[in-house]
Amino acid sequence: MSDVSVKQLGGGIDKLCFQVHTSKKDYILAFSKKIPSEKKLQMLLELGDFLKEKSFCISRFVKTSSGKPLAYKHRGYFIGVYSYVHGESILWQAYSSKKIKSAVSYLYFFHKSSRSFQDKNSCARILRSVADLKAKIEEFKSPFFKIEKKRACEILSELYDAVAEREDELTVLHGDYGRGNIIFEKEKVTGMIDFESVCLGHPVFDVGHFLGTLLVDTLWQAPDLEENVILEYEKFSKFRISPKTYWQAANYFWLSDFVANFEGKTTPCFENIVNELKKINLVKKYEMGRLFS
């Protein structure tokens, strides 16, 4: 046991991660409140093998001698052992234009490669989540905030319609492509971690999530992000999708996190998300019984 050391890493609201160092190699030990189904567990195992064959460096399940993931369910937690990805997730102050473009390039090639993943249709479809969010917004009630429901649902409907007809462009999405899950070595992205939110959908959602995360989690402003994220992704993809649609995808994730916060789930950067939703007149706050934008 003297050759083994443990170091706590980040992890987020519903997850706690540790780096386990041994004399042979390093691992990640993760405790999560999100418990995947057996079907999703098998899909994640196969996706990890697929991405390794495509030369992507990601945190994959360590397998037992029988080929199953080294993972357990215990007292409401999912405990998994994963391969370690060398590098670091960087602080928001370190997100330069060069690093953002490296992250966008890595995301594009992940999307391009994942289109050939044979089991991708077993992933949950993100468009179903868009429809579910519309229903939740219609029913939303809070003594503290008001959602401009008509406008929010119009944005989600426009987003849905913009990508629903582009079936040939669907791929596996990371689902949570943001600062804590992107691994750098110096100026270059070398890997990704945390595939709990993986799903099937149009790449505009992953790009939108990255956009929204950068806007609420760094000092980057929208016009500069359009150049460094949207135009950079379009340079590779040639989708010719309006920047408006990418921002609507960002709005989707903000609204989803906003509503989730009132369902008992703690949302990272909640105040920043509220501020962005207020700026675009999707949310208003009650103060002393009156509404303020």
- Residue 100: which of 238, 210, 259, 256 has the closest Cα? 210
Ordered by start, the domain boundaries in the chain are: 5-83, 92-292
| Res 249: pLDDT | 98
The C-alpha atoms of residue 239 and residue 249 are separated, in whole angstroms, by: 15
| Res 267: pLDDT | 80
75-98 per-position pLDDT tens digit: 999 999 999 999 999 988 899 999
The C-alpha atoms of residue 58 and residue 187 are separated, in whole angstroms, by: 18
- Residue 241: which of 230, 227, 253, 254 has the closest Cα? 230
> 223: which residues sit within 8 A by CB, 6+ positions away?
none
Residue type present at position 278: K
Does 3.30.200.20 match the CATH number of domain 5-83? yes
Q: What are phi and psi of 242, to 5 degrees?
A: -60, 140
The secondary structure of residue 21, as a DSSP letter, is E
pLDDT at 1 over 70: no
Q: What is the pTM of this model?
A: 0.94
The whole-chain average pLDDT of the chain stands at 93
Mean pLDDT value across residues 221-250: 97
Residues 58 and 195: beta-carbon distance below 8 Å = yes
| Res 288: pLDDT | 56
Mean pLDDT value across residues 208-236: 96
| Res 5: pLDDT | 93
94-127 per-position pLDDT tens digit: 999 999 999 999 999 999 999 999 999 999 999 9
| Residue reference for tokens 């590098």 | 87
- Tell which CATH architecture fits domain 92-292: Alpha-Beta Complex (3.90)
3-13 per-position pLDDT tens digit: 899 998 866 66
Task: List the structure tokens of 264.
Answer: 């008992």
Mean pLDDT value across residues 186-209: 95
| Res 227: pLDDT | 96
pLDDT at 60 over 70: yes
Q: Which of 11-15, 31-35, 166-170, 193-197 has the lowest mean pLDDT?
A: 11-15
Q: How confident is the model at residue 289 (pLDDT cuts 50, 70, 90)?
A: low
Q: Tell me which H or E stretch contains 287.
A: strand 283-287
